[in-house]
């Protein structure tokens, strides 16, 4: 307990977790009264797994009609969302749907969240970007994540790319949190190593970043009585701590030994617990700077988080001393507290290297002359910058980016 906390915590209405639980979904939806839905996925899952066919047949046997949309793509755009909206509404005709199912990684779940808004009356997704005056009308979402990392099955937002200016558009409201989050670790068993690494380091970043983000008592909620993110609290930190512990045990194992079922299940738990933390606490500088890195390099979300994580942690040694020591000890560091405090960012850098991700910005493809622009772009993600719990955020961002380009941590000195 922390008596100063101002908790506003949201989570999926139902969590279904366990190997093989995907088979329980049709009966659950029938009991909830659903009769017609859209399943949003991509051609990999329709063409190379039995999961879509098995669900559609089982749901149909219980009187639930399902229209499958398999046009999901990595990093979905606003154009894709609007095109999918028109295509699905045309295919449905006069049929009214009462739920949307997302099967896939974070990209498919984000697209499905956006479609929960646009399928209602065909409005373009740009009309839902930014702060909304009132909670929008949305279809209920059921999320079935197939990776252990993004945590989109527990969060209030969707991120889409606006191709007109190559920026990311955030669509955010608690109405977009899934009514059912079904986490079946068996979905992740066949994830290739690169996807496993990127998803896993994303989960670790979510957990660590939300564990150390701005306190709920200080978080700027902008007067919103129903904020999507509201700072860390004893409740979010409880989930973050367990997620970090599980990543310490299973992240590297799941990458190096993809057939290790215990590690796969462990990372599924880690990912969801991290999502329950950051899905209410929010994030800050790691993601904020990583978005700018992705804008210049077009590398994956997990990798861009990974390259920044050690250097952001290094910059938080004074403001989050106890938390950094906790993280270090959960990743096996021993010795006195001062030593662990210094070593923890280096331990994170070692983890990044073991996942075969470059651990400095120069090797990641950032030119020295582009550092200033990268920093300004990162500061432009104001929602994340203002949640970074340091006294001078712009100056701190500049030091972090410079250190990350040189691959320099305090312990190296």
Instruction: Note whether residue 4 is domain-resident.
Output: no
pLDDT for position 394? 98
Claim to verify: residue 282 and residue 178 sit in the same structural domain:
no
Claim to verify: residue 316 and residue 214 sit in the same structural domain:
yes
Domain end among 159, 188, 217: 188
Instruction: Note whether residue 8 is domain-resident.
Output: no
Of 162-176, 182-196, 218-232, the poorest mean pLDDT is in 162-176
39 pLDDT higher than 70: yes
Instruction: Note whether residue 112 is domain-resident.
Output: yes
Q: Among candidates 78, 255, 96, 50, which has minimal Cα distance to 166?
A: 78
pLDDT for position 166? 66
Beta-carbon contacts of 382 under 8 Å, excluding residues fewer than 6 positions away, are none
Using an 8 Å Cβ cutoff, are 233 and 210 in contact? no
What is the arithmetic mean of pLDDT over 54-68? Answer: 98
Claim to verify: residue 22 and residue 66 sit in the same structural domain:
yes
Claim to verify: residue 94 and residue 183 sit in the same structural domain:
yes
Claim to verify: residue 221 and residue 141 sit in the same structural domain:
no
CATH number of the domain at 332, please. Answer: 1.20.1090.10
The 3-state DSSP class for residue 215 equals: strand
pLDDT for position 198? 97
Neighbours of 10 (CB within 10 A): 18
Claim to verify: residue 212 and residue 289 sit in the same structural domain:
yes
CA distance 176 to 128: 12
Domain end among 188, 221, 255: 188
Q: What angle do CA 34, 39, 42 make, to 5 degrees?
A: 170
- Structure tokens belonging to residue 243: 């997620």
Instruction: Note whether residue 23 is domain-resident.
Output: yes
Claim to verify: residue 220 and residue 87 sit in the same structural domain:
no
Q: Among candidates 371, 252, 254, 357, which has minimal Cα distance to 299?
A: 357
CA distance 347 to 144: 32
Claim to verify: residue 380 and residue 285 sit in the same structural domain:
yes
Instruction: Note whether residue 169 is domain-resident.
Output: yes
Element (H, E) at 230: none
Claim to verify: residue 225 and residue 337 sit in the same structural domain:
yes
Residues 210-238: pLDDT tens digits? 999 999 999 999 999 999 999 999 999 99
Number of domain units in the chain = 2
Instruction: Note whether residue 133 is domain-resident.
Output: yes
CATH number of the domain at 133, please. Answer: 3.40.50.1970
User: 36-40 and 65-69 as β-strands: parallel, antiparallel, unpaired?
Assistant: parallel
Using an 8 Å Cβ cutoff, are 184 and 214 in contact? no
Q: Among candidates 149, 148, 155, 191, which has minimal Cα distance to 170?
A: 155
Mean pLDDT of the chain: 96
pLDDT for position 165? 73
For residues 121, 127, 129, 135, the Cα torsion angle rounded to the nearest 10 degrees is: -50
Instruction: Note whether residue 7 is domain-resident.
Output: no
The answer for 231, left when phi > 0, alpha when psi is -120 to 50, beta otherwise, is left
Domain end among 149, 172, 188: 188
Residues of the domain holding 79: 14-188
Claim to verify: residue 255 and residue 288 sit in the same structural domain:
yes
Residues 193-215: pLDDT tens digits? 999 999 999 999 999 999 999 99
- Structure tokens belonging to residue 233: 């609290």
Claim to verify: residue 183 and residue 237 sit in the same structural domain:
no
Confidence of residue 413 (pLDDT cuts 50, 70, 90): confident
- Helices H, strands E: what count in the chain? 16, 8
Instruction: Note whether residue 264 is domain-resident.
Output: yes
User: 167-172 and 157-162 as β-strands: parallel, antiparallel, unpaired?
Assistant: antiparallel
Claim to verify: residue 18 and residue 119 sit in the same structural domain:
yes
Residues 253-311: pLDDT tens digits? 999 999 999 999 999 999 999 999 999 999 999 999 999 999 899 899 999 999 999 99
> In the chain, what percentage of residues exceed pLDDT 90?
95
CA distance 251 to 264: 9
Pinpoint the alpha helices (H) of 282-334. Answer: 285-297, 301-314, 321-330
130 pLDDT higher than 90: no
């Amino acid at each position: 307990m922390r008596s100063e906390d101002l908790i506003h915590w949201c989570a999926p209405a139902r969590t279904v977790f366990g190997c093989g639980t995907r088979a329980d979904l049709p009966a659950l939806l029938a009991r909830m009264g659903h009769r017609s839905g859209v399943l949003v996925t991509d051609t990999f899952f329709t063409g190379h797994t039995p999961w879509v066919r098995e669900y559609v047949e089982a749901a149909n046997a219980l009187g639930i009609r399902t229209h499958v949309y398999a046009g999901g793509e990595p990093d979905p755009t606003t154009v894709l969302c609007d095109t999918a909206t028109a295509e699905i509404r045309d295919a449905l005709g006069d049929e009214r749907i009462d739920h949307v199912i997302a099967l896939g990684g974070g990209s498919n779940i984000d697209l499905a969240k956006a479609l929960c808004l646009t399928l209602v009356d065909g409005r373009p997704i740009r009309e839902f970007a930014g702060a909304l005056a009132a909670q929008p009308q949305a279809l209920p979402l059921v999320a079935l994540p197939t990776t252990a990392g993004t945590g989109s099955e527990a969060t209030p937002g969707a991120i889409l790319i606006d191709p007109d200016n190559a920026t990311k558009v955030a669509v955010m409201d608690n109405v977009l949190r899934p009514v059912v989050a079904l986490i079946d670790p068996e979905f992740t068993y066949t994830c290739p190593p690169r996807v496993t690494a990127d998803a896993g380091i994303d989960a670790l970043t979510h957990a660590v970043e939300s564990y150390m983000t701005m306190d709920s008592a200080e978080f700027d909620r902008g007067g919103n009585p129903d904020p999507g993110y509201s700072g860390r609290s004893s409740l979010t930190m409880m989930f973050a701590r367990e997620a970090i512990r599980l990543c310490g045990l299973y992240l590297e194992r799941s990458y190096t030994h993809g057939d290790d079922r215990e590690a796969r299940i462990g990372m599924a738990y880690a990912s969801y617990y991290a999502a329950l933390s950051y899905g209410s606490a929010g994030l800050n500088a790691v993601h904020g700077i990583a978005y700018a890195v992705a804008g210049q390099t077009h590398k994956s979300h997990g990798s861009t988080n990974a390259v920044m994580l050690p250097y952001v942690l290094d910059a938080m040694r004074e403001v989050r001393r106890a938390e950094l020591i906790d993280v270090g000890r959960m990743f096996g560091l021993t010795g006195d507290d001062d030593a662990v405090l210094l070593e923890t960012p280096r331990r994170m850098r070692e983890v990044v290297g073991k996942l075969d991700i470059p651990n400095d910005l120069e090797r990641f493809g950032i030119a020295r002359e582009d550092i200033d622009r990268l920093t300004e772009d990162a500061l432009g993600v104001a929602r994340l910058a203002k949640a970074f719990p340091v006294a001078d955020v712009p100056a701190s961002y500049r030091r972090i980016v410079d250190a990350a380009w040189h691959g320099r941590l305090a312990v190296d000195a």
